[in-house]
Structure 1
Amino acid sequence: MVETWLVDAMRSYNAESYSMRHAYAAQLHLPGPVFRELVVWALQSLPDEILVGLDVDPNRKHIGEVESTFEGQEHVSNLFGGQGYVIKEAHVVNRGDSYSVHHLPEEWTDDLFSGQRGSRAGRFTHWLHTHPNAPAIPSGADTDAAQETTGVDMILGLRFSPEGPLPWFDDVDGTRRSLGTEHAPKTKRSWFSRKELPVLGIAPTGHSIHDIQLIAFHKTGLGVNVLLIDESGYPYGWDELIQPTS
């Protein structure tokens, strides 16, 4: 079950995905329950980053009217593997620091994947890795690893408390895509601090979530628009995005 606060955040994110649709070359439809799993896994694996492989459902295409509504002026057909199909499932493949996390462990390889195909070996269509208490902006290691991806690469950035050994790091340039922080209530971090942070909600791990950032990109550097969809295949907030015609 997806919590109400996360549904609200995904609705806000999709509204921005719609308003920014002309800035993207393609789109990727990610089910809300799968996205929730990714957030929980990221928090359960702290302080490490995690690498997650994602497969698409070959029997479930994007809904046509959703695809056309979010299609931008810069749309590119057949840009990546799995384009036009909904993500079906996710698997945690590795955990570690920002350099080792991109390596595919031996248990995820077999004779079909030679060393010449790189550390990821093409095991999954799409890949996602996490940035704990850091923004979802690609590093040099991230862009290098993306060259082996047949689909797209995603980054999930989380800002949370208690921080533990990972204080928030934001000294990096790049465009940020957040889930609904402008609608979150403000709360003081402590009795002695005047600094206030938004609280989107409380995760199942007990962490207060202050920001969730999500981006997707192709190995060429082109941005991919992520839509967070419900069980029916429509984006959360679809009714608010598309005004009925009379």
Structure 2
Amino acid sequence: MQKWLLNAMIEYNSASFQNSQSYPAVLHMPGKILDKIIKWCFESLPDEILVGIDVNNKLKVNQQVNELFRSMESRNDLFAGQDFVIGEAEIVNRGDSYSVHHLPEDWTDGIFTESRGARGGRFTHWLHTHPNAVAIPSHQDADAAQSTHGVDLILGVEFTPEGPFGWYDNVEGVRRPLGKNEQQERENREPPRSAAGWRRKWWKKKNQRQVLGIAPTGHSIHGLELIAFHKSGVGVNVVLVDDEGMPYGWPFTK
């Protein structure tokens, strides 16, 4: 695992801890699986990918960690697989934002398919990617989540070369960056004082974005976002863990 991603996961977990009171439940996701999915995302461009995720029935979540990230209004029975760490992930489809949620025939068994929804209910959790777009659910995403027994996750990735689609962030919602963009934060604290300054800022932002890391495909990664949500519409806190089920950046203290 590259150092930039390790540092990004530590920062992400710190934010998950600081915002723990905003979520009714926690999902424990191994960092090595996230690393794998990021690679799949770039290998499948310009398509989105749909990833089926199952839990590791032999690895329960660490209760000490769970208690520390638990909110005052937490629920122990919000979603399927809540007591276990994520164990396996597989690509099951690729396509645009409309077709990506539908499983190919190879991944369906034909039994109760209609009642299970477009995805066939094959996995506990589902993740799909938003290439060069923020990790905010669309109407299609929310509809597809209604047949999910666990949670839905979205991985948003900002990168260059952009290909056919530029970075899209004109959408409202709570965003969870994976790694801080220090350059952007500094510019946001110091807004331009003139119209010419705004033009320079836009041009600089477009052409001199901070690079978090380099993908195996050679793309420059400028930003990552990761969210999880339940079909009821509530957000789910994500904690990124190592092979032993401990969060990157542990320990955290209140």
The two structures share one fold, judged by TM-score above 0.5? yes
Q: Deviations over 1:173-222 (max 9, x none)?
A: 11110011245799xxxxxx533322111122211111100000000011
Output the amino acid matched with 1:194.
K
What is aligned with 2:40? Answer: 41
What is aligned with 1:150? Answer: 149
Q: Given that residues 181 and 210 in structure 1 are in contact (C-alpha distance below 8 angstroms), is that contact kept between their aligned partners in structure 2?
A: no
Q: CA deviation at 1:113?
A: 4.0
What is aligned with 1:63? Answer: 62
Whole-angstrom distance in 1 between the partners of 2:149 and 2:80: 5
Task: Report SS of the residue matched to 1:197.
Answer: coil
What is aligned with 1:52? Answer: 51
Whole-angstrom distance in 1 between the partners of 2:107 and 2:56: 20
What is aligned with 2:218? Answer: 206
Task: Report SS of the residue matched to 2:209.
Answer: strand
Matches within 5 A, 1:77-96: 77-96=76-95
Whole-angstrom distance in 1 between the partners of 2:162 and 2:28: 31
What is aligned with 1:219? Answer: 231
Task: Report SS of the residue matched to 2:144.
Answer: helix
- Superposition CA RMSD, Å: 1.6
What is aligned with 1:229? Answer: 241
The alignment's TM-score, normalised by the length of structure 1, stands at: 0.92
Matched, 1:194 2:193: no
Task: Report SS of the residue matched to 1:101.
Answer: coil
Whole-angstrom distance in 2 between the partners of 1:38 and 1:183: 25
Matched, 1:140 2:151: no
What is aligned with 1:242? Answer: 253
Unaligned runs of 5+ in 1: 187-192
Task: Report SS of the residue matched to 1:29.
Answer: strand
The alignment's TM-score, normalised by the length of structure 2, stands at: 0.89
Whole-angstrom distance in 1 between the partners of 2:171 and 2:136: 8
Q: CA deviation at 1:232?
A: 1.8
Task: Report SS of the residue matched to 1:100.
Answer: coil
What is aligned with 1:160? Answer: 159
Q: CA deviation at 1:111?
A: 4.1
Matches within 5 A, 1:109-148: 109-148=108-147
Q: Given that residues 181 and 223 in structure 2 are in contact (C-alpha distance below 8 angstroms), is that contact kept between their aligned partners in structure 1?
A: no
What is aligned with 1:15? Answer: 14
Q: Given that residues 184 and 200 in structure 1 are in contact (C-alpha distance below 8 angstroms), is that contact kept between their aligned partners in structure 2?
A: no
Q: Deviations over 1:113-145 (max 9, x none)?
A: 432322111100000000000000000000000
Task: Report SS of the residue matched to 1:57.
Answer: strand
Whole-angstrom distance in 2 between the partners of 1:183 and 1:232: 31
Task: Report SS of the residue matched to 1:198.
Answer: coil
Matched positions, count: 235
Output the amino acid matched with 1:242.
T
What is aligned with 1:190? Answer: none
The answer to which of 211-220 and 228-237 deviates more is 228-237
Output the amino acid matched with 2:10.
R
The answer to which of 228-237 and 7-16 deviates more is 228-237
Whole-angstrom distance in 2 between the partners of 1:56 and 1:98: 25
Unaligned runs of 5+ in 2: 186-202
Task: Report SS of the residue matched to 1:238.
Answer: coil
Q: Given that residues 185 and 199 in structure 1 are in contact (C-alpha distance below 8 angstroms), is that contact kept between their aligned partners in structure 2?
A: no
User: Percent of aligned pairs with the same residue?
Assistant: 56
Output the amino acid matched with 1:99.
Y
